Amino acid sequence: MVVVGGGAAGIIAAWRAHSLGAPLVLLEKTDRLGTKILISGGGKCNVTHAGPVESVLKAFKREEAVFLRPSFYRFPPTEIVQMLADRGLQLYTRDDGRMFPLDADAKDVVACLSHYLTGVDVRMETPVTGIEPGRGVWIGETLLETDHVVLCVGGSSFPKTGTTGDGYAWARSLGHQVVPVRAALAPVEFEGVLSDPNAGVSLRDVLLRARQSGKVIDKWRGDVLFTHRGLSGPAVLGITRSVAEEWDKGPVDLEVDLAPDTPFETLQTDLATWKQHNPNAKLAHALEEFVPSKLVARLLDSAHIHPETSAQRLAKKEANKLVETLKSWRLGRVSKVLFDKGEVVAGGVSLDEVDPKTMRSQKIGGLYLAGEILDIAGPVGGYNLQAAWSTGYVAGESAAQDWLATRV
């Protein structure tokens, strides 16, 4: 049997199939395994998300959760954690449930998983150019014969990593429906911003909202990073799928609540108390509690307040406007969701055409699909890697069992 693609799903599929005794070849078009794993979590590798299976599934859209449920129970988050621990790589859980290596990074995760492929025929820099059902896979002009193919080639996000959408064309040619692909977990650019002087500055633990025609279409709590032309960071990645899906209905603005745990009225009271006790203090100094010093002038400008304003000169109307800005600071209007820099895409092979219990194609015998090629896109937080681990495991297991059954 052949596994096409050496990413998260492909590595686990190849390991599981090999562990069952099926001879196989793992084909990877680039010069290294796990390229997308290497960029997960900003290079730190958000391996998975902690919690019971049902809790983790709730992060996905309903139809995706229904599809993933069988594979998540076959290979839950605890399994990938144990695999890494068995090789000496421990994970820790952040307060938000995201799991990362304790004293390592993404390179160590890939290295650890690579050890599980000992004995597998892994062929790097071997791009597949076509799939012929019942015969095998084409590598240029050479046919590698097999009647069991596990397709784990990823989607089309971040094409520099090798995920260039090849699998979509193959799936279509084999009769599969491919749901239109759109950006998810991607940075954004803003209208009229060519070189933001605050690029590299971050807002920590804020509530980011995407608003369209006055209505909030999505929100996410986390960090926001200013870039040269827009925004990135976990909170941005958390809302960009919704932005991409709703964009054709009208412009989308992004705003941020800098004090998500503090009600509007409490902020008003706190500001009035601060004014009373610090009449000669510059307002700018107090705002460094909410934003880095480099962003104070920008925040005040949005509230239409002079940067040199002192507490005693702050009028009540200005104070209310400032609190309003702290709770809903408009950062810009989205001009582009950067599809080519996204960690994941939404869309892909229709879930209606793949058996969720086996990952078998319901169109072509001997074909199995796993990972990002499927129409699955969870939020930021380790969910998408878990979907790759779980579907890869089931696909590899099913393909191996089917192959072995034909040789009895």
Quick one: pLDDT at residue 176? 96
CATH at 316: 1.10.8.50
Tell me the three state secondary structure of residue 237. helix
Number of Cβ within a 10 Å radius of residue 173:
12
Instruction: Provide the domain count of the chain.
Output: 3
Residue 121: band (very low, low, confident or very high) from pLDDT cuts 50, 70, 90: very high
Q: What is the average pLDDT across 114-138?
A: 95
CATH of the domain at 162: 3.50.50.60
Q: Which of 308, 330, 352 is the last residue of a domain?
A: 330
Lowest-pLDDT choice from 39-53, 204-218, 324-338: 39-53
* Whether residues 310 and 365 fall in one domain: no
My answer on whether 67 and 145 are in the same domain is yes
Q: Are residues 217 and 357 in the same domain?
A: no
In this structure, the answer to whether residues 142 and 272 fall within a common structural domain is: no
| pLDDT bracket for residue 156 (50, 70, 90) | low
Q: Is residue 102 pLDDT above 90, yes or no?
A: yes
Give the pLDDT mean for 304-318. 91
Q: pLDDT at position 183, please?
A: 84
Overall residue count recorded for the chain in this entry: 408
Q: Indicate if 19 and 128 belong to the same structural domain.
A: yes
Higher confidence at residue 93 or residue 195?
Answer: 93
Same domain, 145 and 164: yes
Q: With cut-offs at 50, 70 and 90, classify the pLDDT of residue 159.
A: low
Residue type, 362: Q
- Looking at 330, 354, 371, which one is the last position of a domain? 330
Assign 341 a pLDDT band (cuts: 50, 70, 90). Answer: confident
Q: Are residues 160 and 173 both part of a single domain?
A: yes
Dump pLDDT digits (tens) for 242-268: 999 898 899 999 999 999 999 999 999
State whether 204 and 122 are in the same domain. no
For every residue of 176-197, DSSP letters joined together read --EEEEEEES--EEETT-S--T
Mean pLDDT of all residues belonging to the chain? 93
State which of 276, 311, 337 marks the end of a domain.
337
pLDDT at residue 155 in the model: 64
Residues 64 and 139 in one domain: yes
What is the structure's pLDDT at 111?
96
Report the range of poorest mean pLDDT among 8-12, 157-161, 245-249, 382-386: 157-161
Report the percent of the chain where pLDDT is more than 90.
85
CATH number at residue 255: 2.40.30
pLDDT of 248 reads 87
198 and 238 inside one domain: yes
Q: Is 119 left (phi over 0), alpha (psi -120 to 50) or beta?
A: left
Residue 158: its pLDDT value, please?
Answer: 52
Please state the rounded mean pLDDT for residues 336-363. 92
pLDDT of residue 161: 52
Same structural domain, 216 and 129: no
- How far apart are alpha carbons 32 and 183 in whole angstroms? 25
Handedness of CA 297, 299, 301, 305 (dihedral sign): negative
**Structural domain span for residue 271:** 264-330
**Please, what is the Cα angle at 298 between 277 and 189, to 5 degrees?**
145
What distance in Å separates the CA atoms of residue 113 and residue 198, rounded to the nearest whole number? 38
Same-domain check for residues 82 and 226: no
pLDDT digits (tens, 9 = 90+) for 357-370: 999 999 999 999 99
Residue, of 386 and 164, whose pLDDT is higher: 386
pLDDT band at 160 (very low <50, low <70, confident <90, very high): low
Taking the complete model, does pTM exceed 0.85, yes or no?
A: yes
- Residue 337 burial by Cβ neighbours in a 10 Å radius (0-12, 13-18, 19+): buried
Residue pLDDT, tens place only, 216-238: 999 999 999 999 999 999 999 99
